[in-house]
Structure 1
Amino acid sequence: MVLQMGSPAPSIKVENWLRGEPLTSFQPGKVYIVEFWATWCGPCVDAMPHLMQLQEKYRDSGVEIIGVAASENAPTADEARSNLDAWLTEKFSNLNFRMAFDSTGEMKKLWMEPSFSFWIPTSFVVDRDGHIAFIGGPAKLDEVLPKVLNGSWRSSDEAKAADKERIAESEPIAREQALTKPINARFRAAVKTEDWKTARSAIEEGIALLPDNLNFRLAHANLVLHKMHDMWTGLPLMHQLVRDAIDRNSEDWMIAALEQLFQPNYDHSRFPSAERFAMGKELSEHILVLNPPQGEGPKFWSYPAVARYYHESGNKDRAIELIELALTSLDGPEPIPDKLKQHLLPELLQALANYKDEKVCHGALCAAPQKNFLPKVSKRRP
């Protein structure tokens, strides 16, 4: 059953209450904000002071905020809970709203999944009568909350249109996730035991079902080329991945294909050199046309991959130029989150130091050449 505006609010089933008194049920006449977040999520952390301000501002109006940490990363639930408790003590010792912890997945099943909510932070506003009034990002709460409090929000055309649009955008993703979940589970289990034949069968089933799913296509190429070392099958796969990326004119697809060809973490010793560099040249040239050096588009996503191609093909000066442009774009006209910048800057500096074969600095951060430096496989932009 779809959880949407007007639906009765699900119950709160959590493992622990780390801050504030436990909440057993929603009280009539009060408005609740149930906020799903995580300590590793930059936008979630950035939203915390805003939520504290809202709690202070609207406390006398009957508003209560409930933080739900249901996506913490740790080997065990006990460790996740302990880390979260320590993090809250250090970062938000003056937290003024309830904070719950859940690692069982129960809260996700009750709230996130039936509402087609796939990202955090996600805010659920529960109206005075215990029904869902709003589902969305916390940035919208300043606009929505006063209307919920005066009773005008749920009946407004604006609210109905927003919820209809949210469901229309999210429902296809939910259907795809339902289809891919068992395939992904089978694939991960097979990879864990290095049962490459079963893993390949699972991923090929996924591609047959969803041929435009980039994650399946990348997993297939990586498995065949870098785990099974099957060049007979892998070369046509790579040629098709490159062709599809260029035909789509998609920077993300082209970056992903370049990573398969030039990431130093992968063993390319069995890959025919001429074919690898020909594909790399074609992809790199298309990326630079799509996101030209003189253009204003961000360079820090794609240029490191293109620079690796040029450096390995012997054009060291071009590789240095591209990394320098990527570094410059970190301080471009469109601001990027500090956490993302802190993640990207050290690797860009390290690449520049290696390509120049000398120490380089960017502000207070410096890097010296490292002969055996292996960068992480790039994550596609969020």
Structure 2
Amino acid sequence: MESNKILSVESRAPALEVRDWVRGEALASFQPDRVYVLEFFGTSCDYCDEAMPDLIELQEIYKDRGVEVVAVAAGESAASADEVRSQIAAWLAQFPELNFRVGFDDTGAMDTRWMDPSFSVEIPQTFVIDRDGYIAFIGEPDKLHDVLPQVLDGTWRTSAQAQAAERERIAEDEPKARKKALRNQVKAKFAAAEKIEDWKTALAAIEEGVALDPDDLLFRQQHVHLLLHKMHDMQTGLPVLRQLIRDGINTNYKMMLEAAFFELFDPAHDYSQFPSVERFAIGKELSEHILAQARLQDDYDRAVSYLMVAAYYHASGNKDRAVELLELALQPLDGPGPDGLKDDLLQTLADYKGEK
């Protein structure tokens, strides 16, 4: 990223390019003599849930002093703009006291103009634009209660405190942003190779990604999947799978263990070239660990674990144990449950019993 493209405190605020507005009237551009709090958020971001009530409170406190909060979702995943709008509207329903504009951009313009050049990689991320149209603050929204009064009285932007805070932010965020850019390059290489089923090139890209970020679960799972299910290289793939499981156990990373499990027992995969003895030996060890951890979980998470592990027992020929686990999972679930879990349990149980 060229230095003349870096966006930081005391930079002139870029244009506001919002695809559409979900709440409030459209805002075409920042108006002079107003102070704007521009919040980047996402509907799947837990910290964004926590930030919204504070933003509502700030808007109420400072509404008579020329402050306007504007929230923009710039990274929603959906098939169309209409779906993005519906997704955001449903998420906003949990904030009935919402008192500021909310928009979204699914074109990438807001990321390109704001997030990327400021080294911002995580949300929620807040930009404060002062009355002169300059950026006075970039950072986490929980700092606004301290910063905003100083922005309003004109003492913050050029202060030593603001400059020190900005240097600290850039020192922390720039390496993350550069790693994100490299990760995106890896993903692009992989996607291009996957499209034409050039598995050798895809593998080289994924191995580059794993070297770049060994903790990235997406790269780790794709590495296993390519070796075992696309290239059928069991000699290389099985040790990589075992390492994924060991790391998941050592770090107690539940999602890593789930990812490994589905490489072993996802019915969508073809296991005809997978050595059965190795597959079920690894599956037994992994299933026993997941079941041991399940005892410490709540009813919902335990049911998810039982549903998953039942697939191992069914595939290995122990149908009775698979049925037992599903019935145990169902016992504490009274209603339909989140995400249709109870329906999934009932359907799987019927399948295993040969019933409708």
TM-score of the pair, normalised by structure 2: 0.74
Which of these residues, 28, 32, 36, is aligned with residue 27 of structure 1?
32
Matched, 1:193 2:196: yes
**Contact 2:199-2:226 within 8 A present in 1 as well:** yes
Counterpart secondary structure, 1:10: coil
Among 204, 207, 226, the alignment partner of 1:204 is 207
Which residue matches 1:69? Answer: 73
* Aligned CA distance change for structure 1 residues 226 and 101 (closer, same or farther; 3 Å): same
Which deviations, in whole Å up to 9, do the C-alpha atoms of 1:309-365 show, x marking residues without a partner?
34544223662377359969x9xxxxxxxxxx833xx13x134324544xxxxxxxx
Identify, as 1 or 2, the structure richer in helix.
2
* Distance in 2 of aligned mates of 1:372 and 1:270: 30
Matched to 1:135, the amino acid is G
Match of 1:257 among 260, 264, 280: 260
* Contact 2:299/2:333, CA 8 A, preserved across alignment: no
| CA deviation after TM superposition for structure 1 residue 108, in Å | 0.6
Corresponding residue for 1:222? 225
1:345-364 residue pairs with structure 2 within 5 A? Answer: 346-347=340-341, 349-354=342-347, 356-357=349-350
Following the alignment from structure 2 to structure 1, what is the Cα–Cα distance between the partners of residues 154 and 118?
A: 22
**Could you tell me how far apart the structure 2 residues matched to 1:164 and 1:285 are?**
49
* 1:23-54 Cα deviation digits (max 9, x unpaired): 434524x3211122356667657765664554
CA distance in 2, matches of 1:117, 1:326: 43
Q: Which residue of 2 aligns with 1:323?
A: 329
Q: SS of the counterpart of 1:103?
A: coil
Q: For 1:161 and 1:304, how far apart are their aligned partners in 2?
A: 52
Q: 1:53 to 1:202 in 2, by over 3 A?
A: same
- Partner SS for 1:299: helix
* Shift of residue 235, structure 1, vs aligned partner: 2.8
Match of 2:139 in 1: 135
Q: Distance in 1 between matches of 2:144 and 2:111?
A: 21
Q: Deviations over 1:254-285 (max 9, x none)?
A: 22211211222322233222211211222233
Tell me which amino acid in the other structure corresponds to 1:27.
P
Which residue does the alignment assign to 1:342? Answer: 338
Q: How does 1:1-382 map to 2 (within 5 A)?
A: 1=3, 3-4=7-8, 6-14=9-17, 16=19, 18=21, 19-25=24-30, 27-28=32-33, 30-38=34-42, 44=48, 51-75=55-79, 79=82, 96-128=99-131, 130-137=134-141, 141=144, 145-146=148-149, 148-149=151-152, 167=170, 170-289=173-292, 291=293, 293-294=295-296, 299=301, 304-313=307-316, 314=318, 315-316=321-322, 319-320=325-326, 323=329, 342-343=338-339, 346-347=340-341, 349-354=342-347, 356-357=349-350
CA contact (8 A) 1:307 1:320 kept: yes
Q: Secondary structure at the match of 2:308?
A: helix
| Alignment CA distance shift 1:132-1:90 (3 Å) | same
Is the 1:203–1:216 Cα contact (8 Å) retained in structure 2? yes
Residue 35 of structure 2 aligns to which amino acid in structure 1? V
**C-alpha spacing 1:43/1:208, structure 2 compared with 1 (3 Å):** closer
Number of positions where the alignment pairs a residue of Structure 1 with one of Structure 2: 343
Change (3 A) 1:3 1:11: closer
Identity %: 44
Are the aligned partners of 1:144 and 1:153 in contact in 2 as well (CA < 8 Å)? yes
Letter of the 1:62 counterpart = G
Q: Distance in 2 between matches of 1:212 and 1:89?
A: 32
Give, in whole Å, the separation in 1 of the partners of 2:330 and 2:91.
38
Secondary structure of the corresponding residue to residue 175 of structure 1: helix
Given that residues 20 and 97 in structure 1 are in contact (C-alpha distance below 8 angstroms), is that contact kept between their aligned partners in structure 2?
no
Aligned CA-pair RMSD? 4.4
Partners of 2:296 and 2:243 lie apart in 1 by: 30
Matches of 2:155 and 2:299, distance apart in 1: 41
Q: Which moved more, 1:145-154 or 1:263-272?
A: 145-154
Residue of structure 2 in register with 1:363 after alignment? none
Shift in Å at residue 236 of structure 1? 3.4
Please state how far the C-alpha of 1:200 moved relative to its aligned partner. 2.3
Judging changes above 3 Å, is the alpha-carbon distance between structure 1 residues 153 and 370 closer, same or farther for their aligned structure 2 residues?
Answer: farther
TM-score, normalized by length of structure 1? 0.69
What amino acid sits opposite 1:24 in the alignment?
Answer: S
Distance 1:196 1:35, change over 3 A: same
Runs (5+) with no aligned partner, structure 2 = none
The answer to whether the Cα contact below 8 Å between 1:117 and 1:170 also exists between their aligned partners in 2 is yes
